[in-house]
Structure 1
C-alpha cells in the first residue's frame, strides 16, 4: 500500500477503505508518512470531502491511536458533554454537579483555554487547592464515590488527532466539516463515555460562524456517534454574544455558583438546563426532555445541586468553603467601568472582541506557555436587545495593572453595534439534532 495511491484516489473523489484510512493514520502518527504527503491528502479531503463511513473510520482510527479509557468500572451510563468553544462558556461548572446530583455519573476530561476561548480546567483551578490531575484509578474512584470528577485531558488521548490538527492549522485545512467532526469525536470516544451531548456554538464568538455550518457540523458528529455505537445529540446554540455576563476564570466560577443557586443569567440557566435534560435522557434517568427540565429545576430549587458542588470541590482537594465565600476565590486588585457615548439599542456584539478584551487583561493565553491571571476579566451589563443611553456602563473591567486596560476598552467599544430601533433578543437554542 502506497500513500501516493491513496492521495491520488481521494484527489479523484473516490471513497477510501478502512484499511487505507488506518494505514494513513498509523503511518502519520509513527512518523513513517511525512508531513508533505499528509498535507496533500488533507487538501484532497478538504476539496473532495468524506462520506459518513469514511469520517467515522477516520474518527475511530484517531481515537485508537493512543490511550482508550475504560470506564466500565464506573456504575451507570456515562454521558459526556462537549462544547465547541466560546466566550463565557461556563456550562461544565454548572452541569457537572447538576447532573451528578441526579445520580448520573459525570466522568469528564476537559481542556485549558487558548486564545479568546476559556478552558474549564483553568476555571476549576480558581477553587483554592483544586486538583485537575488525578491518576485514572483515582478518577474512577471519585466518580463511583461522589458521582463526579473533571480532570485535564491526558497527553496520550488521541495523539493522531493532535498531530494531524497541528498540520491542518498550518496548511489551511482546518475548516472542513468531516475533519473537524472527526477531531472532536475522536477525543470524546477515547474518553470512554457511553453517550455524548454536544453543544455546537454558532456566531461571531464561535468557530462555526453561520447556522448552516453549525448544523452541518452537529449533524456530522451525530452521524459519527451512530456509526461507532455512541448515542449522540447535538444542541446548536447561539454565540453571537457571550454566554452569561461574566468572562474570566474566577468571575465565571462565581456566575456558575449563582446559577446553581437559581440566581444565574437567563441564557446560562436556559442552556445548562437544556443540556442537563438531554444528558438525563441519554442516561435513562428520565424518558423525555420535558421530564429532564423539571428534574433540573427541582435539583436547583432543593439545593441538591449546590450540595453536590461542595462535595465535588472537596473530593478533588479544593476548599469547599470557597463555594459559599467568594472572598476566598482569586480576585483582581482593581476595577473600572466602561462607558459608551452612544444612545440606542444593542443590535450586535462581536463576541470574539469581547473575548480578546478579557485575553489582554490576562484572563486567557496568547500561547500555550502564557500564564493566566485567574482573577481578571470583565462583567457585561448590556447585551443584544438592551437599551443604552449615553453615559451608561456597558461593562466593568477587573484587572491587576493598567498596562492593558486601554486595549481592553477599545476592544469592548469596537464590539458593540447600535440601532435606533428596538432589537429583539436573540434566540439561544436553534435546534437539537438527534
Structure 2
C-alpha cells in the first residue's frame, strides 16, 4: 500500500518516522510517486502540521535529494544569509561585501524574483557583464580569493524542494509553516555554509503579515538548524513599507552603491547592521553581536565595503567604471510626482508599489517573463519623513511612455500623508531569535 500508507498516516494525525519521510521524498524525486499522491501528502501535512523533528527530517531529506555543496576547501567559518523576500530589500547587495571586507567568507546562492519581490540574481545581472552562472570550482575559487561570491542555485541543489514547491503552488498548500520552513532550510543545508542568518519579513509587502506569524516561522527554521547541527539565528524585520527607497533591479544596485558610500536611508541601514553584525558573530569574528555591529560600522565608514563590492563585480565579469560617475539606471522615460499636501509620510503600501513596478517590467508574473533591468520606482521619502507641498515623492523609470501618468496616480495613492506622526511608529526590527548550538 506504499505510498498510500504514508499519506493516511499523516492524514489521520500521526507522526511520520524518519524512514517514512526519507522514503517518500526519495521516491517522489525519482519519479516513483505521481504528483496526485504527492499533492495528497502535502495537503495532509498542511492540515495536520508537523512536529519539529518531522520538519527537520523533511528539510534534511530534501537537502540530501541532491548534492550537498562542499565548502571545506575555503578557510574560515562560511556564513550565509537568507531573506524571506520583500519590497526594496537590497540587503544582500550591501551586507555581503561588508561582511566579506570584515574578513568573513560569504558563500551566497541566490534566486530570481517572482511576482512583486525582486531576486538578487536579477539585480546583479542589471550590471553590464555580470555573470551569476558560475561553475562550482569557480565559485569556490572566488570565495577563497575575494572572500565572497554570489551565484544562482544549481539544478542539483535540493531538487526535491523544486518539485514540491511547484506542486505546493498548484495545490493551495504554500502557506503551511512546516513546508515553508523545510523548503528554506533544505536549500541552506544543501548550500554548505557553516552558519546561517535568516531575515524573516512581516507586513504588507511580505508573505507573513504579522510579527507573530513571522516569529513562528523563524522559530521553526531556527529549530531545524539546531536539530540539523547548523548554527542558525533569525531576525524579524518590518515590511510594512518598502525597506529601501529603490524598487527595481538597476535602481537597487544604485541604492546599494549609495548605501555603501554612507548615504543610505535609515531603515535599510538598520537592517543591514542587524544582519551583518550577526553574520560576524556567527562566524566567531567577534565575541558579541554588539562588537559585530561596531566592526561592521568601522568597515563601512572606511570605504572597504564599497571597494569589496567593486572587487566582487569585477570578479564575476561586471563593469564598474560607472560607479562614482553616474547612476547605473538609464531608463529613457521618467515621471516624477510631487506631494500635494504637507505633513508626514505615515504609510507606504509596499505591495502596491511592488506590483506597479512589476507591471512596468521590473518583476515576473510567471517564471518565463523577461525582466526589464532599468525600470522601477525611486522614492524620495521613507516612512515617517516630513514632506512639504510640492516636494518630489517618487520618480517612475520606464522603457515606454505608456500609462506613466496613470501609474503615477496609483503609486501616489499608495502613500499616505498625515498632519501628525502616529503615537507608536512601527519598529524596523521586530525582535530576534537565536539558537544555542
Unpaired segments ≥5 residues, structure 2: none
Q: Deviations over 1:21-48 (max 9, x none)?
A: 0111112112211222211111111111
Give the corresponding residue for 1:369: 368
Q: Match for residue 114 of structure 1?
A: 114
The answer to whether the Cα contact below 8 Å between 2:342 and 2:387 also exists between their aligned partners in 1 is yes
Cα displacement (A) at 1:407: 4.8
8 Å CA contact 1:331, 1:374 repeated in 2: no
Alpha-carbon distance, 1:50 to partner: 0.2
**1:270 matched to 2:270:** yes
- 8 Å Cα contact 1:384/1:426 also seen in 2: no
Counterpart contact for 1:360–1:408, Cα < 8 Å: no
Aligned twin of 1:180: 180
Residues 88 and 248 of structure 1 are in contact (CA less than 8 Å); yes or no, is this contact kept in structure 2? yes
**What is the deviation of 1:246?**
0.9
The separation in 2 between residues aligned to 1:369 and 1:11, in whole angstroms, is: 35
The aligned residue for residue 345 of structure 2 is 346
Tell me the equivalent position of 2:411.
412
Alignment of 1:249-260 (within 5 A): 249-260=249-260
What number of residue pairs does the alignment pair up? Answer: 433
Taking the TM superposition and a 5 Å limit, the aligned residue runs for 1:302-381 are 302-327=302-327, 329-341=328-340, 344-381=343-380
Superposed CA offset, 1:28-71 (max 9, x none): 11221122221111111111110000000000000111121111
The reply to whether residue 150 of structure 1 matches residue 156 of structure 2 is no
Residue matched to 1:43 = 43
User: Match for residue 134 of structure 2?
Assistant: 134
Number of the residue aligned with 2:32: 32
Q: Measure the CA separation in 2 of the matches of 1:384 and 1:302.
A: 28
C-alpha separation between the residues in 2 aligned to 1:175 and 1:89? 22
The 8 Å contact of residues 254 and 329 in structure 2, kept in 1 or not, is answered as: no
Aligned partner of 2:217 in structure 1 is 217
- 1:382 matched to 2:375? The reply is no
What CA distance in whole angstroms lies between the structure 1 residues aligned with 2:329 and 2:156?
Answer: 31
Q: Which secondary structure does the structure 2 equivalent of 1:262 belong to? A: helix
2:197–2:275 Cα contact (<8 Å) kept? yes
The Cα shift of 1:420 comes to: 4.3
On the 8 A contact 1:260/1:306 being kept in 2, the answer is yes
Q: Is the 8 A contact 1:360 1:407 kept in 2?
A: no
Asked if the contact 2:331–2:398 (Cα under 8 Å) also holds between the matched residues in 1, the reply is yes
Choose 391-400 or 294-303, whichever is displaced more.
391-400
Give, in angstroms, the shift of residue 390 of structure 1: 4.8
Q: 1:27 to 1:410 in 2, by over 3 A?
A: farther
- Cross-structure match for 2:399: 400
Aligned mates of 1:331, 1:266 — CA distance in 2: 26
Q: CA deviation at 1:284?
A: 0.6
Partner of 2:162 in structure 1?
A: 162
2:72 is the alignment partner of 1:72 = yes
Confirm or deny: 8 A CA contact 1:361 1:404 kept in the other structure.
no
In the TM superposition, residue 414 of structure 1 has moved relative to its aligned partner by 3.3
Whether 2:420 is the aligned partner of 1:421: answer yes
Conserved in 2, the CA contact under 8 Å of 1:257 and 1:323? yes
DSSP-derived class of the 1:179 partner? helix
Conservation of the 8 A alpha-carbon contact between 1:337 and 1:393: yes
Q: Does the 8 Å CA contact 1:105/1:147 hold for their aligned counterparts?
A: yes
Contact in 1 for aligned 2:99/2:276 (Cα 8 Å)? yes
User: Is 1:431 matched up with 2:431?
Assistant: yes
CA distance in 1, matches of 2:58, 2:401: 48
When the two chains are superposed, the root-mean-square deviation of aligned CA atoms in Å is 1.6
Shift of 1:91: 0.7
C-alpha separation between the residues in 1 aligned to 2:387 and 2:139? 48
- Give 1:8 deviation, angstroms: 1.4
TM-score w.r.t. structure 2 length?
A: 0.95
Deviations 1:184-205 (A, max 9, x none): 1111111110110000000000
Alpha-carbon separation, structure 2, partners of 1:356 and 1:406 = 16
Q: What secondary structure is seen at the aligned counterpart in 2 of 1:321?
A: coil
